[in-house]
Structure 1
Amino acid sequence: MTDYAEEQRNELEAIESIYPDSFTVLSENPTSFTITVMSDAGENGETVETLLKFTYVEKYPDEPPLWEIQSQENLEDRDVQEILTLLQQQAEENLGMVMIFTLVTAVQEKLNEIVDAIKTRQEEDKRLKEKEAEEAETKAFQGTVVTIENFLAWKTTFEQEMSEIRKKRQKEEEQVGKYKLTGKQLFETDHNLDTSDIQFLEDTGNSVEVDESLFQDMEDLDLDEDDPDFDPLAMGSDED
């Protein structure tokens, strides 16, 4: 006859020696305890962790223990469900043998796989971002590929813009033409401008008188203007 209590006590002692820092006894009747299971650190130090609670049933190990996940860190709901499924599978495969160490080891391997998957997703995200950045840079360098469709669309927009510019310029020129007259148009519209200068002289009494005596003796002067040494001021001083 199997002594279930003895097998349970022996396994409990072994588990405590294997996991001294993560093993905690919660109760003795029924025997219940927790084990913290943590993955190995990933490349960037990331880890995942879960706190497993086990409870012996009366006929353990011929019957599987009870288990539950009391807490977890960095695990998604999908990961938690996969761990529970894994525990059920391992327990069925190891009926008749003490199995806590086997169950914990399977969970730890699963956590390591999850960390590896996180690393793979991070690398994929990084490559995707790098690819998107390269494509954006290439597109900016090459410009937009011209097709018939986008050329016709650009041509229509360009012609509309040019038409608006011409209309605006024509309107501005018409507005300026209303208020600006040429010199000819000024004389044609105001005939007083024809005699304005004469009237100014007559109104002010200004006249120009010339003293002809100042020029009477100019013909008697022997002026050699071609002489490079010719100095009219010097001549005047010699006569004095």
Structure 2
Amino acid sequence: MEDYKQEQEMELEALQAILMDDIKEIDPSESGIDTNSRCFEILLSPQDDDFDEAAHVPVQMALVFAHTEKYPDEPPLVNIKSVRGIKPDDLTSLKEKLDQEATENLGMAMIYTLLDSAKEWLTEKYGQNAGDEEPDKTEEPAEEVIIPHGEAVTVESFMAWRERFEAELALQRAKLMPESALTAPKEKKLSGRQYFESGRHITKGAGTVAEEDEEEEEDIEFDDDFEGKYATSTFCGY
């Protein structure tokens, strides 16, 4: 019995040295705990490096505890109160969490351990950066979404496009070519030897001479008087 009392007093002295003005003894009737033992209240706020202590704290809670007769071999009596801005459901959730941790730490002084766990929970739940995690979860899929532009290319759509492209290209080439090139059948190109053996050079030469004779005949015109005189003189002379 004396060992429990001594260990409890030593823990209280250590907590008062660490927490100073943040811990105070309160009347058991104000604790919300069904006990006649000494009760203590510790004020907790979200832990933040950028937090200005002089500023108004929107969220704050109080951890109230009392030692049992055989503490720390028994769990302490703990109550969580909202000083400002804590939801009742969250208080219940935190109380269950601390009760579980108290059971896991039996046999050793645990008030500061429970206090540290409660402050960490409060910071994660109500700290300045507490709401930053949720937007990140919704923004992550947005980085992977690729907004499509136009229609997706498939084999069928590509082949259809290729046929249209080749048809348009052929039409453009046809517009640039003379009509004779489009209507005249293409002849197979012959080698020099095949050209002379085929006799086309002779035919082409004869055709050229004939064309020249026809052009000369077309250039010479005789009137009727000249033809009559020429015929008379020729008849009389022979």
TM-score range relative to shorter protein: 0.3 to 0.5
TM-score normalised according to structure 2 size:
0.46
TM-score normalised according to structure 1 size:
0.46
